[in-house]
């Protein structure tokens, strides 16, 4: 599955309309897309360590690109961080 297509779909439709999102990704069901998104967000591997300077810089860049409301999209670019951690940062 192309994660960039999934990320674009979540940006366009939000993280709830998996049928619309899966329509953008060839041969993937809405359930597969939802599960992959959860994996990308690291919902099963939340890290509780201090933020690195590199993570801070990357997040600032991503907030500039996506705005301060697309936290799950931003988190998908940061290994082992989820949307809640990004929002609270």
Give 35's pLDDT tier (boundaries 50, 70, 90).
Answer: confident
In the block, tokens 């999102």 appear at: 21
- Identify the CA nearest to 89 among candidates 66, 44, 58: 58
Of residues 24 and 63, the one with the higher pLDDT is 63
Judge if pTM exceeds 0.85: no
Class of the CATH-defined domain 53-88:
mainly alpha
Tokens in use for 64?
Answer: 């500039």
Confidence at residue 45, expressed as pLDDT on a 0 to 100 scale = 60
The model's pLDDT over 43-58, given as tens digits with 9 standing for 90+, comes to 656 667 899 999 999 9
Mean pLDDT score, 70-78? 89
* Domain map (residue ranges) of the chain: 3-41, 53-88
């Amino acid at each position: 599955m192309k994660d960039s297509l999934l990320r674009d779909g979540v940006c366009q439709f939000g993280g709830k309309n998996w049928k619309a999102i899966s329509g953008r990704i060839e041969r993937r069901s809405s359930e597969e897309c939802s599960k992959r998104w959860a994996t990308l967000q690291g919902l099963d591997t939340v890290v509780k360590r201090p933020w690195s300077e590199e993570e801070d810089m990357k997040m600032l860049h991503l907030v500039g690109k996506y705005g301060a409301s697309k936290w799950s999209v931003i988190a998908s670019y940061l290994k082992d961080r989820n949307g809640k951690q990004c929002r609270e940062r």
